[in-house]
Structure 1
């Protein structure tokens, strides 16, 4: 295995510490919301291009509250913007971490699968008759193709 990019271990203690850190993050952000797919699609998105718009709208509303209806909650708007701005660097950091964890998981999974394929191929080539036949057959089930049902041809 010439290209083994992640040759390391994650100790049970370190895994537990990471899981505890994630639990702490969740504990410190008890207000997090779980949106359904439909809700997520239906909401207007505040991205990089819209941040300046939101900031300017807040400034206009703060300096000129008289044109807003009485039901408009300027403090709630301000609180939402402040929370968004506080969450934004956390989101960026967690996104980067998630990408690193995902990439590492993909890489080590690929390495494990490639090594498993080598074991299977070596076992097929030289393991027959050495008491490995049933194990080789068991590994080979991973590659068994399901037979396609033959469609009866319509008669003319």
Structure 2
């Protein structure tokens, strides 16, 4: 277990503070939506190139509203673009944070699992595990593979 990269604790107080901070973020962003997979698949997506296009279109619409239908809401378009721009640095920051949390979670899980494997292997190798045979057998079931059901043979006539 020489490859232990993370040795830390997260106190209940700190965990609660983080959860409260996340709740505050959700509270400050009450307009967030939850899209379905189908929504995501079918929606227009605005990337870096599209941002310049949308900005130009807004400027054209602002300076030349006469060719737009009366139902077109330039102010709503302006609000949408402003909110998009305001959310962008938040999205980047949260994405970076999520990657760090994900990587840390995977790393500590790996370290804990490696330690558990070491305990299991040491216990199996040791002849002196009086009273632990049932526990070691139970732990060993983690590694038993289920046999695949034999596929019925099809005849080639």
TM-score by length of 1: 0.94
Q: How many residues align?
A: 156
Matches of 1:128 and 1:148 in 2, distance apart? 36
Give yes or no for the alignment of 1:130 onto 2:130.
yes
Equivalent residue number for residue 149 of structure 1: 149
3-state SS, counterpart of residue 69 of structure 2: coil
Is the 2:6–2:108 contact (alpha carbons within 8 Å) kept by the matching residues of 1?
yes
Matches of 2:94 and 2:119 in 1, distance apart? 37
Deviations for 1:92-127, whole angstroms, at most 9, x for unmatched residues?
100000000000001101111111111111111115
Unpaired runs of 5+ residues, structure 2, are: none
Deviation at 1:152, TM superposition (A): 5.2
Equivalent residue number for residue 22 of structure 2: 22
Equivalent residue number for residue 60 of structure 1: 60
Is the 2:62–2:74 contact (alpha carbons within 8 Å) kept by the matching residues of 1?
yes
Unpaired runs of 5+ residues, structure 1, are: none
Matches of 1:57 and 1:124 in 2, distance apart? 70
CA RMSD of aligned residues (A): 1.6
Equivalent residue number for residue 112 of structure 2: 112
Equivalent residue number for residue 6 of structure 1: 6
Equivalent residue number for residue 96 of structure 1: 96
Deviation at 1:147, TM superposition (A): 2.1
| Structure 1 residue ranges, 4+ long, deviating more than 3 angstroms after superposition | 150-156
Bigger drift between 122-131 and 30-39 goes to 122-131
Q: Given the superposition, is the C-alpha separation of residues 24 and 127 from structure 1 closer, same or farther in structure 2, using an over 3 Å criterion?
A: farther
